[in-house]
Every structure is written in C-alpha cells, then in structure tokens.
Amino acid sequence: MTSWPGIAQTSSEYTFLRDLRKVYPQILSGKGNYLTTKDGREVFDACSGAAVSCLGVANQRVIEAIHKQLKSGTPYLASSFWANDVVEDLSKELIQGTNNQMGRVYLTGSGSEAMEAAIKLSRQYFYEQDPKTPRVNFIARKNSYHGNTLGACCRERVVHV
C-alpha cells in the first residue's frame, strides 16, 4: 500500500473515497437490518442502503428480481435508446403511485444524474416558453447534497434557503 502524508491508511488502496482522512469500515455481508464488518462487528443499517439504492440488506425478493433480470441477458436497459417491459412496468407503477399526477417517467442511474436532468429539464421548460426568460435561478437548501456532477454541485445562480 502506498503511503501518502495526511491520508488515512485503509485497505481501499485503489478506491477514491469521499474523505481521504477517514478510515472506513469494510463491509463483508449483511442480513436483516445489520451489516457485518471485516473485523467482525455488526452495524445497524438505519438507512437501508447507501444513497439512492434503498433496497435493504439481503432482501430475498430483491435478490430474486435482480437474478431474474441478470439471467435475461439484459441486466440494465433503462435508457432513452430502447424500450423494455420491466422499465415500462416500473414507470407505470411510479405514475400510479402519484394518483396519475405524473404523466411520464425519466429514469436515471443515480441521484446525481436525476438532479442534473431536473436542472436541465426545468431550464428547458422555461426556455421553450420564452427564450429570453428571466427564470434562470434555482433554489437549493444550503449545505445539502445534490450530487457529484458539476451542475448539481456548483450552480452559478443558486438561491440558498
């Protein structure tokens, strides 16, 4: 392992983690609400998964659905280039979950992509109404996480509340 001054020494030699001075626990497995670390500790997982993948830990229904999709030969096909029954079913369920207040769904692979798409979509909407629109500001909560993309992190015209 390479030694770098001021950087924590972990087994994450090749992974660029969020905080270079922090030693992160290594997770080996999980069951129910608990994760098991490499050194044998059990950690209660209060958020049911990292970031946007709130799938829980060792959820058998989720594991079976993922396995079925992997066996289909198309492990991931939510894009703007192809149609797919699984994607269509999910989109329909999401729309019905809003009592049909939404008309269409745009799926992304991460929260960062979702934020970037929302910024672009809202800008495009008002631009289509009036190319000289003065509506160029975005409202964001101060010190909140909005993703890793430049657009989501560093809006020039963000009004913090």
pLDDT over 90 (residue 111): no
Task: List all residues 6 or more positions away from 58 whose beta carbon is below 8 Å from its beta carbon.
Answer: 29, 30, 31, 32
Task: List all residues 6 or more positions away from 66 whose beta carbon is below 8 Å from its beta carbon.
Answer: none
Task: Give whole-number Cα distances, 94 to 74, 76, 85, 97, 102, in Å.
Answer: 22, 18, 14, 5, 8
pLDDT over 60 (residue 11): no
Q: Which pLDDT score is estimated for 102?
A: 92
Q: Which pLDDT score is estimated for 2?
A: 54
Say how far apart CA 102 and CA 23 lie, in whole Å: 43
pLDDT, average across residues 74-80: 74
Q: Which residue has the higher pLDDT, 60 or 144?
A: 60
User: Per the structure block, which two tokens stand in for 18?
Assistant: 């969020």
pLDDT over 90 (residue 64): yes
Say how far apart CA 116 and CA 78 lie, in whole Å: 17
pLDDT, average across residues 63-67: 90
Q: Which residue has the higher pLDDT, 124 or 160?
A: 124
